[in-house]
Copies of this chain bind each other. A is one copy, B any other.
Amino acid sequence: MQKHNFSAGPCILPQEVLKKASEAVLNFNNDNLSLLEISHRSKAFVDVMENARSLALELLGLEGKGYKALFLQGGASSQFLMVAQNLLEKRAAYLNTGTWADKAIKEAAIFDDILEVASSKDANYNYIPKGFDIPEDHDYFHCTSNNTIFGTQMKKFPKSPIPMVCDMSSDIFSRTLDFTKFDLIYAGAQKNMGPAGTTLVIVKEDILGKVSRKIPSMLDYKLHISKGSMFNTPPVFPIYTSMLTLEWLKNLGGIKAIEKENKKKSILMYSEIDLNPLFKGFAAKADRSDMNATFNLVNEDLKETFESMLQEAGINGLNGHRSVGGYRASMYNALPLDSVKVLVEVMSELEYKA
């Protein structure tokens, strides 16, 4: 039975990527060796790494603009620490839009008191704060573009007088933006880019080298850049699979093309949430995420019926995060529009039945 995979991450990847990744585990490059058993210093793998790095910059429109792409380990959680290690000298400013933003703040607070320029914690993060000031005398401003758990997304980014750092883990490569506004972008691979186990970091080189502390090797962006993202053995399989996904996206027509598809999916999804009286959206309308739609049943008595209908339809991964409850439909790049249609049909059917 075909599954419709709405998992929040690790999440659905394109079928052709899965097929190629599976083949490479047995026989990579027709060389009778597995991708897993070759040297990361071999030409074959160095080509994979370089291709992945340049595809990332190309898709974001950042080639030849002073940026470098790295594929590191440790997830966005490691970036919470690395950003502060590499950039925080005096003080930093953070926007608090959810659980992950909050964790980023706590990690940076090991180095210094952090200025929260604004927070939506008071309303369980169901909106994106606006109209805040970013002080000029801070080292950098940090924000989170999409809040997976709460289903909110920054639609506009402030004009920042200081370097702007953005955690784009859950919406990178999903929409067109002027990415040159950002000085550092990071994203765990396991949403729109690949399997869990690698993290993309895009950094403008001229913001580095300005702190006085001694940075441990594995946490040092400059060192990773100087070693071509191969200071030590990289996570070969996650990077290869990410490269395949970026190739898939490029062949589709890049971010512009996928953005159109993503819009179709989110419009369909939110129309149903708004028009079906049995459901209620969680996030403020102006700040709704095109990646993660969060919603609840108005009448919890229908829970059992709804969930057995979801199961019958082959819908997977729709449970909301425990901090919000209800449901979350994650509609990442690789999710087909058809899967959203199936979900919306189940929701309509429930209305008809109830």
The residues of A with any CB-CB pair to B shorter than 8 Å are 1-3, 5, 7-13, 18-19, 21-23, 25-26, 31-34, 36-40, 73-78, 80-81, 103, 106-107, 110, 188, 190, 194-198, 214, 216-219, 231-238, 241, 316-317
Chain B residues with CB under 8 A of A37: 5, 7, 10-13, 18
- Given contacts A26-B18, A77-B217, A107-B216, are A188 and B233 in contact (CB under 8 A)? yes
Q: How many copies does the complex hold?
A: 2
Chain B residues with CB under 8 A of A188: 233
Chain B residues with CB under 8 A of A1: 32
Chain B residues with CB under 8 A of A25: 18, 21-22, 25
Chain B residues with CB under 8 A of A233: 9-10, 75, 188, 190, 196
- Given contacts A77-B232, A232-B75, A238-B235, are A33 and B216 in contact (CB under 8 A)? no
Chain B residues with CB under 8 A of A237: 195-197, 237-238
Secondary structure type dominating chain A contacts: loop
Chain B residues with CB under 8 A of A13: 34, 36-37
A195 and B39 alpha carbons, distance in the complex (Å): 11
- Given contacts A78-B218, A81-B216, A214-B110, are A7 and B235 in contact (CB under 8 A)? no
- Given contacts A233-B196, A236-B197, A237-B238, are A38 and B10 in contact (CB under 8 A)? yes
A11-B37, A74-B78, A75-B233 given. 9 additional CB < 8 A pairs?
Answer: A1-B32, A3-B32, A8-B39, A10-B38, A22-B23, A22-B26, A40-B196, A73-B73, A81-B218
A267 and B217 alpha carbons, distance in the complex (Å): 38
A44 and B11 alpha carbons, distance in the complex (Å): 15
A273 and B217 alpha carbons, distance in the complex (Å): 38
Nearest 5 pairs of A and B residues by beta carbon: A197-B235, A22-B25, A36-B195, A73-B73, A77-B232
Chain B residues with CB under 8 A of A23: 22
Chain B residue at minimal CB-CB distance from A2: B32
- Minimum Cβ distance to chain B for residue A201 (Å): 14
A26 and B23 alpha carbons, distance in the complex (Å): 10
- Minimum Cβ distance to chain B for residue A139 (Å): 18
